[in-house]
Copies of this chain bind each other. A is one copy, B any other.
Amino acid sequence: MSPKLTVELLRQLRLAMKNCKYFPEPIQAYIIPSGDAHQSEYIAPCDCRREFICGFNGSAGTAIVTEQHAAMWTDGRYFLQASQQMDNNWTLMKMGLKETLSQEDWLISVLPENSKVGVDPWIIAADQWKNMSKALSSAGHSLVAVQDNLIDAVWQDRPPRPSTQLMTLGLERTGVSWQDKITALRAKMRERKINWFVATALDEIAWLFNLRGSDIEYNPVFFAYSIVGVTTIRLFVDLKRLADPAARQHLQLDGPKGPELSIQVFPYESAHTELQAVCASLGPRDKVWICDKASCALTQTIPKPHRSPIPYTPLCLAKAVKNSTEIQGMKTAHIKDAVALCELFAWLEKEIPKGTVTEISSADKAEEFRSQQKDFVGLSFPTISSVGPNGAIIHYTPLPETNRTLSLNEVYLIDSGAQYRDGTTDVTRTVHFGTPSAYEKECFTYVLKGHIAVSAAVFPNGTKGHLLDSFARAALWEAGLDYLHGTGHGVGCFLNVHEGPCGISYKTFADEPLEAGMIVSDEPGYYEDGSFGIRLENVVLVVPSKPKYNYINRGSLTFEPLTLVPIQVKMMNTDMLTQKERDWVNNYHRQCLETVGAELRRQGRKEALDWLIRESQPIA
């Protein structure tokens, strides 16, 4: 991986920063966040502005360019990758390390007095704008909205915004019609005396209307906004997409309809002006809900007395708790996904000794096996297929120049998942095809202990996921080890593989309590720079638990693994496991064997079945 050369780009950007065509006065710094106007984590090529300017293409990072400096902040998953992708015009700011300055503090430390810091108000979230603006003002600087994006101004061949075909999902997939979802949303609005709700997150809009798209790779979403009032529904999309009769029928755009559940459609670009029109008609006490993570531009369109920002929208909360149709779909998807992975591992065992399997070809093979499964749509994120030292790059994606050959001598980590029409998967297994070292086994076993500690945890109703994070780390900590990422994220149902508002991470405090029906990942790891990476990830469903007692009738919860792929026993130092942990492993493997075995038999996949049977044998 050679770094992107950015001398010329930075020169042009700095010229634009002084060009009064974009802002009346010169700006001394320009912030390039990684998101799009919907604050998406994964973004379309036309929105990859931070990657364009600095070369780093991980999913999280913010670049800031001043007249003298260029710096890029990212988290522990990406330290290695970012340092390899950026040239020496850029300083890597390692978030989460004590010595690393925050963006605000760094700006204050490098800016001349009375500086202007520019940002595209559509790309920066309202809450980030607020914090940044406050910090800068307190030091005598100011944050200013530059309406034309300065990266776009220097980006010669920027791709167009995608507009893919919409896919409609019926009740057999979603369990709830979009009409009922609108009605439930309005009930929440009534409860809180809210008159309008502005939806800006693409997965929330897709979920609300039971529609999917493929505008953004890996995430089955489409570019849209929606404004829901007490009696009106506005949907903003590229109108060409609505020529499709299936979509028109699904949204009931033609023919008779009740007035409160009829959708008015508008071009995608008119969300701003329509919101202005809505706001112009507000009564003195009318309130508009908008997520505090929505864009600063759209948020500030709502006059402050009418604005009611919320950390998580009612759609985000409703979407997180899967209904029984969705849970069944997720289970089915995970069984198919496990079939594909059993195939992959059986195939790898056979092929690796020939010395022809690489990180890329293994990832491709995994995709091939997945694509053979019913209702496969695509991958849910770029496959992390990493051998030996590449495994220590937490969100590594193999490139031709880094592509390493799988061998009998190195640890192999594969973190992959798919979108099926019935659900989304995300699974990580770390395996060795030869003989792992005692140290590799030791580290793997700490990670396994952490994985089990979370998966088997019993906790009261109302517990927030961040309170479980330390369970995943206790065994590593005791050995003096750790990992620099959270333990789990929410997972959508045929939607984004990362979703809020729940998760398991030391970094969040504002997460919503876990509830039965929520689905999260459980994925502790350990990474030894230059040597190997270990991660063990299952997607797990929050389910009621029935412990011995029921303190003040609060009820208890635990997790049920949806991912059903054996965990390699060869990588375990089973002497380090407690009896309870051994029982967990054996019980898990029995479930894998029963459920996935039956499907492998049904699909007549003999080799994969043999592999599954062998890998699911109980440990003593």
Task: Name which residue of chain B comes closest to A483, CB basis.
Answer: B551
Q: Check A469–B467 contact: CB distance below 8 A.
A: yes
User: A480 near B: Cβ within 8 Å?
Assistant: yes
* Interfacial residues of chain A within 471-497, with CB under 8 A of chain B in the complex: 471, 473-474, 477-482
User: A140 near B: Cβ within 8 Å?
Assistant: yes
User: A98 near B: Cβ within 8 Å?
Assistant: yes
User: A226 near B: Cβ within 8 Å?
Assistant: no
Given contacts A468-B470, A470-B471, A477-B459, contact A482 B554 (CB under 8 A): yes
Closest chain B CB from A282 CB (angstroms): 15
User: A509 near B: Cβ within 8 Å?
Assistant: yes
* Interfacial residues of chain A within 439-490, with CB under 8 A of chain B in the complex: 457-460, 462, 464, 467-471, 473-474, 477-482
Q: Check A467–B506 contact: CB distance below 8 A.
A: yes
Q: Check B98–A478 contact: CB distance below 8 A.
A: no
For A506, list chain B residues within 8 Å (CB).
464, 467
In the assembled complex, the Cα of A98 lies from the Cα of B553 at a distance in Å of 13
User: A556 near B: Cβ within 8 Å?
Assistant: yes
For A554, list chain B residues within 8 Å (CB).
482
For A481, list chain B residues within 8 Å (CB).
549, 551
Q: Check A140–B285 contact: CB distance below 8 A.
A: yes
Q: Which range contains the number of A residues in contact with the other chain?
A: 20 to 34
For A473, list chain B residues within 8 Å (CB).
459
Closest chain B CB from A34 CB (angstroms): 25
Task: Name which residue of chain B comes closest to A285, CB basis.
Answer: B140
User: A240 near B: Cβ within 8 Å?
Assistant: no
Closest chain B CB from A222 CB (angstroms): 34
Q: Check B479–A549 contact: CB distance below 8 A.
A: yes
In the assembled complex, the Cα of A549 lies from the Cα of B481 at a distance in Å of 6
Task: Name which residue of chain B comes closest to A138, CB basis.
Answer: B308
In the assembled complex, the Cα of A421 lies from the Cα of B548 at a distance in Å of 47
For A457, list chain B residues within 8 Å (CB).
474, 477-478
State which of B285, B460, B468, B471 has its C-beta within 8 Å of the C-beta of A482.
B460
Q: Check A477–B308 contact: CB distance below 8 A.
A: no
How would residues 217 to 243 of chain A score, 1 for a CB under 8 Å from any chain B CB and 0 otherwise? Answer: 000000000000000000000000000
User: A281 near B: Cβ within 8 Å?
Assistant: no
By CB atoms of chain B within 10 A, which of A285, A473, A481 has the most?
A: A481
State which of B98, B460, B480, B549 has its C-beta within 8 Å of the C-beta of A458.
B480
* Across the A-B interface, the 3 shortest Cβ-Cβ residue pairs: A480-B547, A509-B509, A480-B549
Cross-chain pairs A/B with CB under 8 angstroms, 19 sampled = A98-B462, A138-B308, A458-B477, A458-B478, A458-B480, A459-B473, A459-B477, A460-B480, A460-B482, A464-B506, A467-B506, A468-B470, A478-B547, A479-B548, A479-B549, A480-B550, A480-B551, A482-B551, A578-B578
